Structure 1
Amino acid sequence: MRATRTVSLLLVVAGGLAAAQTVRVVRAQPEVTYADASGWLLVLELGAGLAVVGAGSVTTLRAPTRTTGLLAVAAGVAWLTREWGSPSAGSSLAFTTGLVLAGVAPALLAHAAFRFPGAPRVGRAVIVVGYAVVVGWQGVAPVLFLDPVAGGARCARPTSCCWRTAPGGRTRWSAPGCGPGPGGG
């Protein structure tokens, strides 16, 4: 039981660290985050994520629901990382983590709900569909079907450069040092 309590405490610490990184990202560049400059939106976002982390860490203390608790903690941490897919993330690892985990929280939460003892057996199909939607719709489909240049999307660093169409229809980078290859385009 002592090891289980230690794991539960470590899960809460992990949630707290994720929340601290989220606050750092939002405060560094609020104009490119979901919480924007509103303190209330950040409080609501942190409250929702940390509530799920807390509920999951408590759930890990009971043997029959341990897996449910771990999935709930993962969902809470994933909820907190949705702000990290921002230029202000601070590192490429945090940025990539934010992009990958941004939409997975609902699927993890559904997985946790249907892993709870006594959940209906149809839950397995819901879990598979949930992950397929997250991976397919939010991950693979945009890469396959969206053309960022034709759609007017900005480059990977929206605060420093963007695509422009020059006279004659040629597309080029608008900021020096922000293009393909060394030294930019």
Structure 2
Amino acid sequence: MVNLVNTHPLLTPATPGLFAHTARHIRHGVDTEQAITLLTSGITSRRLAHQIGRAAVYARISSGELRAWLADQQIDGWITAYKANTYEVEELLDYVSKPANPLNGLLRGRPVTIPLARVGPGTGDGPVTLTHPGKKQTTIRVNRDGNQIAAIPAARHHAVLTMIDSGLDLAHHLEAGQLVTTLAMAGL
């Protein structure tokens, strides 16, 4: 229908036509391309997609940049900016996550390296601990001596949660601003 309207012979070249994706906007009930991208990528909340889409347009973020832009906001950012509930946070985590199976490497004796977000200035290398988010979806914190020194990026949340929940005896170290996880060796 959009094509028929836009190519109607009575329209002059100066007459504005309908937006090519009008049908998708009507079908999904949102007003930005970014929101359509979210709704067609597994986000089921129209409210959330609408809010994120508008924020992305305001920040001049294209649909192709949306995944990385959202991942940089972290879980606490989604909750604050978009009032994302637990279910919506889980969908956003699925959307921004980079596929990984860290357990394969660990069980083969290889370390797993995860880049970190918000590493405190002047933070040196050494052993760290991780704070499990519990049932409430929050950013996984990287701690040293009881103080948060970094955070696990949202794009790596699922991979790190898989390691934590595996029940394996793990050792975590900060090395050059990255989390390096290995199997802990008994007696060493």
TM-score bin, normalised by smaller chain: under 0.3
Give the structure with the higher percent strand: 2
Relative contact order, CA 8 A, sep 6+: which one is greater?
A: 2
Give the structure with the higher percent helix: 1
TM-score normalised by length of structure 2? 0.25
TM-score normalised by length of structure 1? 0.25
